[in-house]
């Protein structure tokens, strides 16, 4: 799905609906016991369970306009009777999530774990959550994952937007070097908004769009850059050109793993 200009809440809902449709088609006849190499120790059934619970958690939060932190364990969820039921269960949860998001006013204040404390956080977040995990299943099934370039570009933005407040990596982020080191990520297939410059400082990191000289620079397709940031691809996979301090890149990828 191509979305021109600025993303809106409705745009995210439409992209999420399309993404979940692709996800459901991919897993419909998949072996639930198949291993997922990008999620060590997980099978496809366990991955679908994770995604389905996350969908129901997000749907509950938005539907009830939850104002304080609530974990997914606090949301009542009924699981399928056996592993073969996960694809249909995933599709049902996705449909309910999209419907609830469409009904929500994106400006409604509510809790989220990210920087955007409104309902709009969840339409964006669940799009990229679904996209990355859909690629996990494709990789597990021996397929080449494809991500729309505009979705992937916004996915990189969203990753960097929320990374600094992702509590589960906060301690590891403090272990990054912080003396002005610069990483530059350059999408070779995107004209607008396809370059990101990340600067490490003593109080964390900052990022901006645009060209800049980095201590390390990575060039590749934007969908591959997104999957690199999420640890689904590695710098040595042959998809990237890497210039400069590879150890800095390795430390960044290690300490920002989410």
- DSSP output for 16-85: HHHHHHHHHHHHTT--TT-B-TTSTT-BHHHHHHHHHHHHHHHHHHHHTT--S---GGGS--PPPSSGGG
Residue 4's pLDDT is what?
45
Q: Average the pLDDT over 221-237 and give the result.
A: 97
pLDDT at 164: 87
Q: What is the mean pLDDT of residues 176-200?
A: 93
- Contact of 226 with 190, CB cutoff 8 Å: no
- What string of DSSP letters covers 203-247? TEEEEEES----SEEEEE-HHHHHHHHTTSS-GGGSS-EEEE-HH
Give the pLDDT of residue 57.
Answer: 98
Question: What are the structural domains of the chain?
Answer: 9-146 (1.20.120.450), 166-255 (3.30.1050.10)
pLDDT tens per residue, range 93-130: 999 999 999 999 999 999 999 999 999 999 999 999 99
Q: How confident is the model at residue 5 (pLDDT cuts 50, 70, 90)?
A: low
- Give the strands of the sheet with 216-220, arranged side by side: 204-209, 195-201, 182-187, 216-220, 241-244
Average pLDDT on 237-255 reads 96
Least confident of 3-17, 83-97, 212-226: 3-17
- 1 pLDDT above the threshold of 50: no
Give which of 140, 176, 159 is closest to 225, Cα–Cα: 159
pLDDT category of residue 177 using cuts at 50, 70 and 90:
confident
DSSP 168: G
Mean pLDDT of 36-63: 98
Question: Reduced to 3 states, what is the DSSP secondary structure of residue 251?
Answer: helix
Percent of the chain exceeding pLDDT 70 equals 98
What is the arithmetic mean of pLDDT over 164-191?
Answer: 89
CB atoms closer than 10 angstroms to residue 254? 12
Percent over 90 (pLDDT), the chain: 88
What's the rounded Cα separation, in Å, for the pair 18 and 111? 26
Q: Across the chain, what does the average pLDDT equal?
A: 94
Nearest-Å Rg of the Cα atoms of the chain is 18
């Amino acid at each position: 799905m191509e979305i021109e200009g600025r993303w809106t809440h409705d745009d995210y809902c439409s992209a999420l609906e399309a993404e979940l449709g692709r996800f459901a088609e991919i897993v419909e006849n998949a072996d639930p016991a198949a291993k997922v190499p990008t999620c060590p120790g997980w099978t496809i059934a366990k991955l679908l369970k994770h995604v389905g619970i996350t969908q129901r958690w997000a749907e509950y939060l938005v539907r009830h306009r939850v104002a304080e932190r609530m974990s997914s364990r606090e949301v009542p969820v009924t699981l399928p009777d056996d592993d073969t039921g996960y694809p249909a269960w995933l599709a049902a949860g996705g449909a309910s999530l999209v419907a609830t998001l469409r009904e929500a006013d994106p400006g409604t204040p509510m809790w989220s774990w990210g920087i955007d404390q409104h309902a709009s956080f969840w339409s964006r977040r669940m799009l990229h959550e679904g996209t990355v995990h859909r690629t996990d299943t494709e990789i597990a099934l021996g397929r080449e994952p494809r991500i729309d370039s505009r979705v992937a570009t916004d996915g990189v933005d969203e990753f960097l937007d929320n990374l600094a407040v992702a509590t589960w990596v906060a301690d590891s982020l403090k272990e990054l070097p912080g003396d002005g080191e610069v990483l530059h990520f350059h999408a070779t297939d995107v004209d607008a908004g396809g370059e990101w410059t990340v600067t490490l400082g003593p109080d964390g990191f900052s990022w901006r769009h645009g060209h800049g000289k980095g201590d390390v620079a990575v060039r590749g397709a934007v969908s591959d850059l997104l999957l690199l940031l999420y640890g689904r691809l590695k710098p040595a996979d042959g998809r990237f050109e890497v210039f400069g301090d590879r150890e800095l890149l390795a430390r960044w990828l290690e300490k920002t793993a989410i």
